C-alpha cells in the first residue's frame, strides 16, 4: 500500500479512518494484536500519528489498549452487545417517536426513498447494511438532537464489530426489512407510540440475531 495522501484533516484522523474500515471489514480481526511498526511502515508514517489514531479508536471502543502489550482490536462480549443494543433501542426509538410527530412531508419522503433502496438491496448484504445505517442516521438527523446523534454514532461503531454475524442469520435480512416496513408505516401515519414500539422491536430482533 502506498503512503497516505494528506487531506485537510489531521493525518492521525486519516489513519484512524483507515484502521476503522479495516476493523469493520475484518481485515483486522477481533482480538488481534495491532502491529504498530508494520502498519506505520505500510502507511509510510511515523508511529506518532498512528498512536494518536489508536487513542481515537480506543475512545470509540474499537481498540483496547493493554499495558505493556500494545493495542488490540476489541472483542465484543455478549454483555457488551446487549448493553449497546439496549442503549440504541432507547435512543433510536425515542427519535422515531419524535419523527412520527414532527417530520415534514419532504423528510418522510427522504426516509421512504431510503427504504425503497433497502428493499432493492436484499441480495447484497454489505449494501443492505450500509443503506440500513443511512436510514437510521437520517431518522436521528430529522429528530434533531445533536447529543443523541453523537451518542448513537459512537454506539453504532461498536455495534459494527458484530454486524456480519447479525446479518448472516438465515432470514435476518427479510425480518429486518419487514421491521422497517412497520417503522415506515408508523412514521407515515404520524403514530408516535407505534413508531417507538416498532423501533424497539427492531432492536430486540437485531440483538437476538447478533447474539
- Write the DSSP assignment of 186-200 as a string of letters: HHHTT-HHHHHHHHH
Q: Which CATH number fits domain 78-210: 1.20.120.530, 2.60.40.10, 2.102.10.10, 3.40.50.10780?
A: 1.20.120.530
58 close to 64: Cβ distance less than 8 angstroms: yes
pLDDT for 2 equals 54
pTM for the structure as a whole: 0.80
pLDDT for 78 equals 87
For residue 73, what are the β-bridge partners?
Answer: 63
Can you tell me which residue has the cell 433501542?
89
Which secondary-structure segment (H or E) carries 59?
A: helix 47-60
Give the mean pLDDT of the chain.
Answer: 90
Least confident of 61-70, 75-84, 156-165, 179-188: 156-165
Question: Domain 11-73 has what CATH class?
Answer: mainly alpha
Q: Do the domains spanning 11-73 and 78-210 agree at the CATH topology level?
A: no
Whether the pLDDT of residue 162 is over 80: the answer is no
| Spatial separation of the C-alpha atoms in residues 199 and 97, rounded to whole Å | 9
Whether the pLDDT of residue 9 is over 50: the answer is yes
Residues near 145 by beta carbon (within 8 Å), at least 6 away in sequence = 95, 98
Question: Which pLDDT band, with edges at 50, 70 and 90, does 8 fall under?
Answer: very low
Instruction: Give me the residue spans of the domains in the chain.
Output: 11-73, 78-210
Amino acid at each position: 500500500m502506498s503512503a497516505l495522501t494528506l487531506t485537510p484533516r489531521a493525518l492521525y484522523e486519516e489513519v484512524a479512518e483507515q484502521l476503522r474500515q479495516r476493523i469493520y471489514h475484518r481485515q483486522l480481526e477481533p482480538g488481534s494484536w495491532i502491529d504498530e511498526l508494520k502498519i506505520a511502515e505500510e502507511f509510510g508514517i511515523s508511529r506518532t500519528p498512528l498512536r494518536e489514531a489508536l487513542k481515537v479508536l480506543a475512545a470509540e471502543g474499537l481498540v483496547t489498549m493493554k499495558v505493556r502489550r500494545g493495542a488490540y482490536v476489541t472483542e465484543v462480549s455478549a454483555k457488551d452487545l446487549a448493553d449497546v443494543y439496549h442503549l440504541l433501542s432507547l435512543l433510536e426509538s425515542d427519535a422515531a417517536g419524535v419523527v412520527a410527530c414532527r417530520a415534514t412531508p419532504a423528510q418522510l419522503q427522504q426516509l421512504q426513498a431510503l427504504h425503497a433502496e433497502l428493499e432493492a438491496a436484499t441480495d447484497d448484504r454489505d449494501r443492505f447494511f450500509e443503506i440500513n445505517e443511512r436510514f437510521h442516521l437520517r431518522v436521528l438527523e430529522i429528530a434533531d438532537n445533536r447529543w443523541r446523534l453523537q451518542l448513537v454514532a459512537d454506539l453504532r461503531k461498536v455495534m459494527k464489530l458484530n454486524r456480519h454475524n447479525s446479518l448472516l442469520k438465515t432470514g435476518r435480512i427479510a425480518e429486518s426489512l419487514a421491521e422497517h416496513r412497520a417503522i415506515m408505516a408508523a412514521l407515515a401515519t404520524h403514530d408516535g407510540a407505534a413508531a417507538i414500539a416498532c423501533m424497539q422491536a427492531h432492536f430486540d430482533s437485531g440483538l437476538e440475531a447478533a447474539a
